[in-house]
């Protein structure tokens, strides 16, 4: 049961969007995947989808149907949905080829700590927590949810 985190270049004056791609086998042994896109200060703040294969294996000469395959597929689907989001809202992120291809950067799960204590991501991460069936993702969100937010004061 695995998931991976990615940050995305900002889509405007807001904080970094977050992409989560998870892959695992459900209790019946079927490969399942989920993706979530967390977009700070957007409505809705979380986009997501779950995918499940209706078979446990594919012919050996076609390759292996494993969590790595599903992880790549979930990231591809999330990237496509993010590109659609950018297009629908006419967000300009660059010119030329990169206009519809936002740059994703792999991130460690320690990013959850930064996002949680910074504030602004709490409601979105709670939505992901309640929507996911990935135990590892749920456990990591639960672990950071007990942390306090930053206590900030501007210097004069």
- Give the tens place of pLDDT for each residue, 72-85: 999 999 999 998 88
- Give the tens place of pLDDT for each residue, 74-117: 999 999 999 888 888 777 766 555 556 778 899 998 888 888 88
What is the count of structural domains for the chain? 1
Q: What is the domain extent for residue 21?
A: 2-107
Report if residue 60 sits inside a domain: yes
Bond before 53 cis per omega within 30 degrees: no
Report if residue 132 sits inside a domain: no
Report if residue 123 sits inside a domain: no
CA distances from 125 to 95, 129, 146 (A): 31, 6, 13
Strand, coil or helix: 3: strand
Report if residue 62 sits inside a domain: yes
Report if residue 24 sits inside a domain: yes
- Give the tens place of pLDDT for each residue, 46-71: 999 999 888 777 777 777 788 898 99
Report if residue 76 sits inside a domain: yes
| pTM of this structure | 0.86
Report if residue 147 sits inside a domain: no
């Amino acid at each position: 049961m695995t998931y991976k985190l990615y940050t995305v270049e900002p889509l405007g004056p807001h904080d970094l969007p977050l992409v989560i791609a998870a892959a695992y086998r459900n209790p019946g042994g079927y490969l399942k995947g989920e993706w979530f896109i967390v977009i700070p200060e957007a409505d809705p703040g979380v986009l997501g989808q779950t995918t499940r294969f209706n078979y446990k294996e594919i012919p050996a000469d076609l390759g292996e149907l494993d969590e790595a395959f599903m992880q790549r597929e979930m990231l591809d689907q999330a990237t496509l949905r993010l590109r659609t989001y950018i297009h629908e809202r006419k967000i300009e992120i660059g010119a030329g080829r990169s206009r519809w291809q936002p740059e994703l950067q792999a991130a460690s799960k320690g990013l959850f700590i930064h996002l949680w204590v910074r504030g602004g991501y709490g409601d979105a991460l709670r939505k992901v927590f309640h929507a996911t069936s990935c135990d590892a993702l749920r456990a990591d969100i639960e672990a950071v949810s007990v942390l306090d937010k930053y206590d900030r004061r501007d210097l004069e």
